[in-house]
Amino acid sequence: MRMLRLALLALQGTLVPLARGALFPTQPIRKTVFYAGNEETVTWVDDGRAPHVDRLGRLKVDLYAANNTFLYTLGHDIDATDGALSVTLPPDLDYSASHYALHFVPQHARYGIIYTADFVIRNAKPSTEVVPFLATATSNVTVPAAVVTFVLPSTTLTSTLVGAASVLPSHATITAPSLQQANIPEEEAQREDDMDDDEDSRNVSSVYRPPTNPLEYNSALRGFGWPSAGPVDWERFKFKLVFIVWPALVGVSMAI
């Protein structure tokens, strides 16, 4: 009878599992996907049952593939009370298995091994880093203003047209030709001068053609109020240039 009791106690001892620590893995879980070569985080908690994690001693964390095949030790001498561990899955291992699990091995073997749920490991995750676009201009661009110079026989006028740099060259010079006065009767010059008001609306060619006849020396300036023959009144020319042409150019530049 006594022998039978001892046999039953021995059988009960083999059927009762070893006391396990109260370490409960929270990462990875069944839906977790780890990537080879990436840094991953393994976490666990104390579920409040004895023996508590502070009794487990130091831990070792091993990686196992399906069918309980050992692959790699991810950590040694880990404090069970830390609750987390950063690991990097070696990219050169064979990750062709359907699933994997981590084994927490306590320092004290009597507490047994704690297993995580089965999870998936895939090859290195493609980089999602976004490279900033560098084509944005980082320096201020200064557009030079257009400078216009009027060169007259007795004076020179220089000014800057603000806002006209996009339609005018950076520097433009307009030079009045040196004219040779012709010996023309004064009456004809006065008659031509009476027609000035009608001639002001005519367009003046922007290209000056040198006169082939002395009588044509001022034909290009008729639009400014001079007769086609006779002496040129430079004071009137400067007056019309400053008070008619120049305000028109400034108005065009401001409109732009």
CATH number at residue 23: 2.60.40.1930
- Judge if 155 and 228 occupy the same domain: yes
Lowest mean pLDDT among 150-164, 215-229, 238-252: 215-229
In this model, does residue 75 exceed pLDDT 90? yes
- Judge if 39 and 112 occupy the same domain: yes
**What's the gap between Cα 58 and its chain centre?**
49
Tell me what pLDDT residue 15 has.
39
What's the mean pLDDT in 75-103? 95
191: containing domain = 146-255
Which residue, of 76, 107, 122, is where some domain finishes?
122
- Judge if 112 and 158 occupy the same domain: no
- Judge if 164 and 108 occupy the same domain: no
User: E strands, the chain, where?
Assistant: 23-27, 33-35, 39-46, 58-65, 69-79, 84-88, 100-106, 114-115, 120-122, 146-151, 156-161, 171-175
- Judge if 190 and 235 occupy the same domain: yes
- Judge if 233 and 195 occupy the same domain: yes
Residue 138 located in a structural domain: no
What residues contact residue 226 under an 8 Å CB cut-off, 6+ apart?
A: 192, 196, 218, 232, 233, 236, 237
Q: For the segment 13-72, what is each residue's pLDDT rounded down to a tens digit?
A: 443 344 455 789 999 999 999 999 999 999 999 988 888 898 888 999 999 998 899 999
Tell me what pLDDT residue 105 has.
95
Task: State the residue for tokens 């044509």.
Answer: 216
In this model, does residue 169 exceed pLDDT 60? no
What's the mean pLDDT in 186-193? 58
What percentage of the chain reaches a pLDDT higher than 90?
31
Q: Mean pLDDT score of the chain, rounded to an integer?
A: 71
Residue 88 located in a structural domain: yes
In this model, does residue 155 exceed pLDDT 80? no
The encoded tokens of residue 64 equal: 């196992």
197 class by beta-carbon count within 10 Å (0-12 exposed, 13-18 middle, 19+ buried)? exposed
- Judge if 112 and 193 occupy the same domain: no
pTM of the model: 0.44
Residue 233 located in a structural domain: yes
In this model, does residue 165 exceed pLDDT 90? no
Tell me what pLDDT residue 208 has.
46
Residue 135 located in a structural domain: no
Which residue, of 122, 154, 180, is where some domain finishes?
122
- Judge if 64 and 110 occupy the same domain: yes
Tell me what pLDDT residue 30 has.
94
What's the mean pLDDT in 189-215? 52
Enter the DSSP assignment of 81.
T
- Judge if 169 and 115 occupy the same domain: no
- Judge if 76 and 150 occupy the same domain: no
Which residue, of 122, 137, 172, is where some domain finishes?
122
Q: For the segment 207-231, what is each residue's pLDDT rounded down to a tens digit?
A: 445 555 544 444 444 444 445 445 5
Tell me what pLDDT residue 204 has.
44
Residue 5 located in a structural domain: no
Residue 221 located in a structural domain: yes
What is the number of structural domains in the chain? 2
Tell me what pLDDT residue 113 has.
93
Q: For the segment 104-125, what is each residue's pLDDT rounded down to a tens digit?
A: 999 888 889 999 999 999 997 6
Residue 137 located in a structural domain: no
Residue 190 located in a structural domain: yes
- Judge if 152 and 212 occupy the same domain: yes
- Judge if 158 and 251 occupy the same domain: yes
Strand (E) or helix (H) holding 248:
helix 246-255
